[in-house]
Amino acid sequence: DAKTTQPTSMDCAEGRAANLPCNHSTISGNEYVYWYRQIHSQGPQYIIHGLKNNETNEMASLIITEDRKSSTLILPHATLRDTAVYYCIVRGLMSGNKLVFGAGTILRVKS
Amino acid sequence: DSGVTQTPKHLITATGQRVTLRCSPRSGDLSVYWYQQSLDQGLQFLIQYYNGEERAKGNILERFSAQQFPDLHSELNLSSLELGDSALYFCASSVGASGSHQETQYFGPGTRLLVL
């Protein structure tokens, strides 16, 4: 499965959009990009996932570049409660049964 | 609320002891996964069960074992506990067997284990 690279930390002003990048330059055609977040030692929370097309749900939007080598998770109006560690995970046939978590990005939303 | 429940929330025990962590999956989910999160190792996959059978194994120690019961709840047994076993233990569940990369896993709130 492809490795991912995320910034260690990011800050965002409350009410503004938070854009979290993820690089997955070795992703292959059948691998999905998943995003989870973990708020202060709580259980990881599923946010969104996608293969090729951009995706949107009630929590966030996922923008995947045309070459699929990178993606951006967008929280449209960040609140203080969005402060968390955000994990970008690439899942394919090799990982199938498990999620492989990296270090993630610590997002701090500030008032 | 993901629909996955875990008990207990906190557990404090001594080295050499044995503990059992319990997980109930979301209604309708047949697969249960266990993950360990320690300060130095991050979140790591331990084991998966599907409908009562072991399906995949990760970095699970021989001192640890798990099972899934007919009602689909799962238990993770940790024995001969060491200080280094102190961690958060999370259970996740998903619908099917394959743990396909198209299948979303939903996590419970975790059990915090402290070994003294």
Q: What is the pLDDT of residues B15-70, one digit of tens each?
A: 999 999 999 999 999 999 999 999 877 899 999 999 999 998 998 999 999 999 99
User: What's the first-to-final CA gap in chain A, in angstroms?
Assistant: 38
Which residue of A lies nearest to B112 if distances are taken between CA atoms? Answer: A41
Sign of CA dihedral A16, A22, A28, A33: negative
Position A96 scores a pLDDT of 64
- B98 contact A CB<8A: yes
Q: Is B25 helix (H, G, I), strand (E, B) or coil?
A: coil
Cβ separation A46–B106 shorter than 8 A: yes
Radius of gyration for the alpha carbons in chain A, expressed in angstroms and rounded = 13
C-alpha to C-alpha distances, A20 to A29, A50, B36, B58, B78, nearest whole angstrom? 22, 15, 25, 29, 37
Helix/strand number for chain A, H first, E second: 0, 9
CA of A44: which chain B residue's CA is closest?
B107
Residue A94 has pLDDT above 80, yes or no: no
**What's residue B42's pLDDT?**
86
Tens of pLDDT, residue by residue over A34-77, are 999 999 989 999 999 999 989 999 999 999 999 999 999 999 99
Specify the pLDDT at position A20. Answer: 98
Q: Which of residues 17-76 of B touch A (CB under 8 A)?
A: 33, 35, 42-45, 48, 55-56, 58
Q: How far apart are CA A82 and CA B87, in angstroms?
A: 24
pLDDT band for A4, please (50, 70, 90 cuts): very high
The pair phi, psi for residue B85, each rounded to 5°, is -85, -10
Which distant-in-sequence residues (6+ apart) come within 8 Å of A29 by Cβ? Answer: none
**Cα(B26)–Cα(B94) distance, integer angstroms:** 8
d(Cα A21, Cα A55) in Å, to the nearest integer? 15
pLDDT at B4 over 80: yes
First CA to last CA across chain B, in angstroms? 31
The string of DSSP letters for B61-105 reads -TTEEEEE-TTS-EEEEE-S--GGG-EEEEEEEESSSS--TTS--
**Number of Cβ pairs closer than 8 Å across A and B?**
67
Mean pLDDT of chain B: 93
- Quote the CA–CA distance of A10 and B42 in Å, as a whole number: 19
